[in-house]
Amino acid sequence: MYRYDQFDARFVAGRVAQFSDQIERRISGELSEDQFRPLRLMNGLYLQLHAYMLRVAVPYGTMNSAQLRKLAHIARTYDRGYGHFTTRQNIQFNWPRLDDVPQILSELAEVEMHAIQTSGNCIRNVTTDQFAGAAADEIIDPRPVAEIIRQWSSLHPEFTFLPRKFKIAITGAAHDRAAIKFHDIGLMARRNEAGEIGWTVHVGGGMGRTPMVARKLNSFVPHADLLAYLESILRVYNRYGRRDNKYKARIKILVREEGLASFREQVESEFSEVRGGVLSLPEDELNRIKTYFAPPEFKDSDARFDLAALKVSDPEFARFVVHNTHQHARPGYTSVTISLKPVGGVPGDATDTQMDIVADLVERFSFDELRVSHEQNLVLPHVAIGDVRSVYEALCAAGLGEANVGQITDMIVCPGLDYCALANARSIPVAQEISKRFGSAKRQEEIGDLKIKISGCINACGHHHGGHIGILGVEKRGTELYQITVGGDASENAAIGNILGRGITGEEVPDAIERLVEVYLGARSGADESFLNTLSRLGETPFREALYGND
């Protein structure tokens, strides 16, 4: 993985010193809250309902064991013994004290981590496929390009005060596991007719109150031109984005109001100016960055899982293999997803002890590499197939052995009204009840893959618009209500779910989900017909009727 050079190290250390000084001046009264607030937000420090929250960046969701141990240490020493992994592949601490933040940040800097640009109207952490550099279906490892984008976008002088926050996602595989079409810019690797690899650029996607699927802006931008092309998009957005209205300030609104063709024309005109200039990416620089992401020293192996035998001899482990492993590009290896969705637990949370245990596994079994997925799980990207049983046992002992990846209890869930100052309704208790209702392995196997996503308000941090079943918390006369959507999809076939009807109470949600699932199970042509396919064949009516009758 990428290692800081002297410039990076100096820059982060400088920022820690600067922000520590600002905190000191805030505590002494020299700075007012009005002066301090934008400064703390630039350093990822929010104020939530009960305390501050510190959001630490995990660049493109990649970490090593030392970094994870440091996060565990911070959780234990300065927080309440846990951290919360987010859909931006970052981690949040919910209870830091302001006067501990300088120490937390300087300890993070020791392991090349920070909280810069995890808030504010700037380019946020670039996210990617959690199986990057490991997946069998990958055209190219997107991490070197993600790293270059990180470097380009960190404190970019032109883009520090954009009209609104800006999110970029990148994937090197044709199957999108990074929800790129719900990002301001979504990049997907592609091979052109000449066999060269470049990037299809999508623009204007997003969740929030005006959800939109990104549109294709350019079907092939070569590596060398990518930064110049991104810069051109950002320049057009920075110039014309709606600064007058927070709700219309994202690039998706600009693209919609301008029209894709006109927006493209402006980007192309900007691109013709900057192309071939300082932003061209020389092949040798790309190669230099690539060396940081060189594949580990895999051993030759033809080990495979004998699933048929395992299902008889060790059915629980077989279930783990089916759901929590992902095909690796290298024979004899697999990627193991560690579910942070224990039945009835808090989605995305990991305790300090669990983080330490996972760090040991990262070191022993995955060439010191860990990933955070946007679906709020952790991934050991390179595990020898012969080691998976040992990993599984260690995970079970740590309460992390849930074999539910991709299933109905593997929900994306935002913090909601239990923590978030912007929330309308709670998300976590609703998720816990759904998880308990559908928690049995047998029930989950029967249902098959199904994605539920829950947000506590229309900001949609829980990606409910992209859930096969989405749940949105709203508030009506002091009561929490939940709107149910169906048909969302965050894959390469991105789609926004439709609301089925009026909001229902939290207590009614598990039954409602049960009824939707029953419609699906009763109507699907076979176990291999997905929820989304059944829905598109039947239309929404039977699902709506299942919730509301014929009214």
Binding site for another protein (CB under 8 A): 26-27, 29, 32-33, 47-52, 80, 95, 97-99, 346, 417-419, 423, 426, 428-429, 432, 475, 478-480
312 binding partner (options another protein, ligand SF4, none; Cβ < 5 to 8 Å by kind): none
Q: Which residues contact 168 (CB under 8 A, 6 or more apart)?
A: 123, 124, 126, 127, 149, 153, 183, 184, 185, 186, 187, 230
Query: Are the C-beta atoms of residues 371 and 391 closer than 8 Å to each other?
Result: no
* Closer residue to another protein (CB): 25 or 156: 25
426 binding partner (options ligand SF4, another protein, none; Cβ < 5 to 8 Å by kind): another protein
Contacts of 292-295 with C-beta under 8 Å, sequence gap 24+, read 292/1, 292/2, 292/3, 292/144, 292/147, 293/1, 293/2, 293/133, 293/141, 293/143, 293/144, 293/147, 295/133, 295/330
Query: Are the C-beta atoms of residues 512 and 469 closer than 8 Å to each other?
Result: no
Residue with tokens 């700037």: 122
Q: What distances in angstroms separate CA 524 from CA 307, 463, 466, one per listed residue?
A: 26, 25, 21
33 binding partner (options ligand SF4, another protein, none; Cβ < 5 to 8 Å by kind): another protein
* Closer residue to another protein (CB): 29 or 157: 29
User: Token digits for 404?
Assistant: 């539910």
534 binds ligand SF4 (CB under 6 A): no
Q: What is the DSSP letter of 438?
A: T
240 binding partner (options another protein, ligand SF4, none; Cβ < 5 to 8 Å by kind): none
Q: Kindly write out the interface string for residues 402-421 of this chain, putting x where it contacts ligand SF4 by CB under 6 A and - elsewhere.
A: ------------xxx---x-
423 binds ligand SF4 (CB under 6 A): yes
537 binding partner (options ligand SF4, another protein, none; Cβ < 5 to 8 Å by kind): none
Q: Kindly write out the interface string for residues 480-519 of this chain, putting x where it contacts ligand SF4 by CB under 6 A and - elsewhere.
A: ----------------------------------------
* Closer residue to another protein (CB): 429 or 542: 429
Query: Are the C-beta atoms of residues 197 and 177 closer than 8 Å to each other?
Result: no
Q: Helix H segments across 299-399?
A: 307-313, 315-324, 352-365, 388-397
φ/ψ of residue 168, rounded to 5: -120, 135
Q: Give dist(CA 517, CA 463) in Å, integer.
A: 20
Closest approach, Cβ 429 to another protein, in A, equals 4
Closest approach, Cβ 247 to ligand SF4, in A, equals 14
Q: Residue 283: beta bridge partners? A: none
* Closer residue to ligand SF4 (CB): 145 or 423: 423
526 binding partner (options ligand SF4, another protein, none; Cβ < 5 to 8 Å by kind): none
* Closer residue to ligand SF4 (CB): 126 or 207: 207
User: Token digits for 330?
Assistant: 């290298």
Closest approach, Cβ 101 to another protein, in A, equals 10
Closest approach, Cβ 514 to another protein, in A, equals 20
Q: Give dist(CA 499, CA 483) in Å, integer.
A: 7
216 binding partner (options another protein, ligand SF4, none; Cβ < 5 to 8 Å by kind): none
459 binding partner (options another protein, ligand SF4, none; Cβ < 5 to 8 Å by kind): ligand SF4
